[in-house]
Structure 1
């Protein structure tokens, strides 16, 4: 075990795992492909977007399966097989001839591969950084969140120069190649890994580590608090991610070009927030960081409501992007600190259902409010503020419960 630890380069593994998620995160650039695919195949946008909905809906299943494999020493299988399935699904989408085929290739195959790779890469890598769990989680999730920044312009260039089906084929082959190269550098994290010169006592998150499996996790009150905090934290980010362009045009009078710029700015903020808040949480603690994140979310929506100018929109977009990224970077180490590293894969996969629930409700609720209020998102903003207050309250209950436990 000592020899294995000495030969392990955890930073190289972090880079390799992030590279795989930079491929699978391309799923979030689907809006670049949806319109051209609809036009090329003469399918309705509703038929095309159903593929993206299927992709999102299957997420919790491979997340939990990938966690199961990771917890049994098969993290490399989960990461690499997931990445290859994603690339294969992307490649085969370049040959679809019916919406049903699209649902199988892009929806099921790529969606399953994405969840499998995300679970394996994330859970395995943060086990190598007990001293910097927030930073490692932030970098890993930034790969997923920021992938569209790279894949969207490349995909658009390929579509303009060739066609949308060829773009899927080329990108699918590229993703498979990247995953194969990265696979040579991914190893299974040793049990109870500690970097040289570091011990648990030196950590800011210095509570005793108790490993619990998913059945034991479900019996703790913290599970339900963390589950719903993740859902409330992700709610606002998912609301904005699916409606940023429309909000900018309908409520702030932006042109489609200007609105598209702010969509990219939101993605950049989301990517940066995962690293920034993850690092901050290593210093301040997860709960203090979440207090700040939920408070900033509330202030960001207040900016939307009471600064009806492009400046107000910019403030809100940047702040909400940073906070959405922060939520995704803070919760993986929070789960590990409560339930230990041994069962992190399955445990986080189950808690991630809180995110998937928010992903189902937030965009649909926002779209319904838009239709029923003449293009205004005002009521949606008030709902998002209320949800953020619920998150703050849950975090306070969590801290109070933790404090009582430590006193006893």
Structure 2
């Protein structure tokens, strides 16, 4: 570095220090105020995660709409599909329309979906209102807090994003009891309207301070290290990078295993272990807790270790869960609880590994659209996992075979992670 470069670097640090002193977040200097954005992001994702509380609505809606258990699952399935489909589209528009506007649009559409669902007279209308409209709103709004937090924490990407997405994972612990209380008090249709109004108001209000920092903003303590990071060679586009395909396949396998397990958590407990339905249902709260805890933990690990090592660790835990369930016997409640805690733990882990790795492998300035594309793996994993577990149960008459399938996927995931899930700064053609 010659004298001119040293002077330029020194000047940039002085300018950054001056800008840091001037910039404030929620009334505090940016260095401290940025931490307040994490609970705000958690709150938004907690509201969006209400979609995971669909099981609370299923039984009363089956009575109100006169449908069976299979049909009552369709609105939730469509919500997950549209949630995943809208992520890459929303990611493209976030830097163009702004974080606040995208969050407000998403929040209003989510609330509208719930409100319109309260007037649904048949399952087709419910699929359109809850599945398509509310799912679309979740897809539009989901990526905004993650993109904002990632920009504000270039020094602690994994930890910050992991803490933020706790809100989505733990949402059923809060929103499911709330929805259940409202249903018992007002019945199901008024509950959908009340939740629609609450979700819209909260998301719109919390969205106000959620905005990107100035371009090239860096925390004072990491100016030197991040200056080096900005000089990394990133692939010109996801499609030209081997790393993208490794990440996408690993994410799809991880979510396929996790979402398959989530979908059968209670039925497996009742059928294979023969525990009471009430115990199986209450166990889901324990599983959700592990799902939430794993997100900041795996985010922290992804900041400090190579992503493929973290991925292999997650797959190994899932494989242990599969082995436990393959050998599980009637009455072995502890085996069931440990195995499904591991499954839910690993799914939460992947929801931190994938966004953190996207930030590490690809240009952070294009994070919103990049992660939107990567997130399609979640949609594929969820859809395939739901279909396969149902088909396997119907074909073999038992859920036991499902765990052989999941174990095979975990082994395949370890192989793919070892070969492809590594940072490649150059296009495939080179």
Quote the offset at 1:348 in angstroms.
Answer: 1.0
Which among 341, 345, 349 is matched to residue 318 of structure 1?
341
CA 1:211 to 1:283, structure 2 compared with 1: closer, same or farther past 3 Å? closer
CA 1:117 to 1:404, structure 2 compared with 1: closer, same or farther past 3 Å? closer
Other-structure match for 1:143: 167
Other-structure match for 1:218: 239
Give yes or no for the alignment of 1:270 onto 2:287.
no
Other-structure match for 1:331: 354
- 1:3-402 equivalence runs, <5 A: 6-8=23-25, 9-72=33-96, 74-199=98-223, 201=225, 208-212=231-235, 216-308=237-329, 309-374=332-397, 376-398=398-420, 402=424
Alpha-carbon displacement from aligned partner over 1:70-95 (angstroms, at most 9, x marks no partner): 23361222222212211221122122
Ranges in structure 1 where 5+ consecutive residues have no aligned partner: none
Alpha-carbon displacement from aligned partner over 1:90-139 (angstroms, at most 9, x marks no partner): 12212222333212221111100000111222222212111111112212
Quote the offset at 1:328 in angstroms.
Answer: 0.5
What's the RMSD between the two structures over aligned residues?
2.4
Alpha-carbon displacement from aligned partner over 1:124-169 (angstroms, at most 9, x marks no partner): 2212111111112212222112111111111111111120001111
**275-284 or 354-363: which moved more?**
275-284
Does the CA contact (< 8 Å) of 1:76 and 1:188 recur in 2? no
CA 1:200 to 1:280, structure 2 compared with 1: closer, same or farther past 3 Å? farther
Quote the offset at 1:192 in angstroms.
Answer: 2.9
Output the TM-score relative to the length of structure 2: 0.87
Q: Distance in 2 between matches of 1:291 and 1:192?
A: 33
Does the CA contact (< 8 Å) of 2:243 and 2:422 recur in 1? no
Does the CA contact (< 8 Å) of 1:75 and 1:188 recur in 2? yes
Quote the offset at 1:364 in angstroms.
Answer: 1.4
CA 1:180 to 1:304, structure 2 compared with 1: closer, same or farther past 3 Å? same
Does the CA contact (< 8 Å) of 1:210 and 1:338 recur in 2? no
Alpha-carbon displacement from aligned partner over 1:214-249 (angstroms, at most 9, x marks no partner): xx2101111111110100111111011111001111
**62-71 or 149-158: which moved more?**
62-71
Ranges in structure 2 where 5+ consecutive residues have no aligned partner: 1-15, 26-32
CA 1:314 to 1:5, structure 2 compared with 1: closer, same or farther past 3 Å? farther
**147-156 or 14-23: which moved more?**
14-23
CA 1:81 to 1:210, structure 2 compared with 1: closer, same or farther past 3 Å? farther
Aligned residues: 402
Does the CA contact (< 8 Å) of 2:108 and 2:200 recur in 1? yes
Which structure has the larger Rg over C-alpha atoms? 2
Quote the offset at 1:284 in angstroms.
Answer: 2.6
Does the CA contact (< 8 Å) of 2:103 and 2:204 recur in 1? no
CA 1:4 to 1:384, structure 2 compared with 1: closer, same or farther past 3 Å? farther
Q: Distance in 2 between matches of 1:159 and 1:329?
A: 33
Quote the offset at 1:207 in angstroms.
Answer: 8.9
Quote the offset at 1:257 in angstroms.
Answer: 0.9
Does the CA contact (< 8 Å) of 2:148 and 2:210 recur in 1? no
CA 1:116 to 1:399, structure 2 compared with 1: closer, same or farther past 3 Å? closer
Does the CA contact (< 8 Å) of 2:251 and 2:354 recur in 1? yes
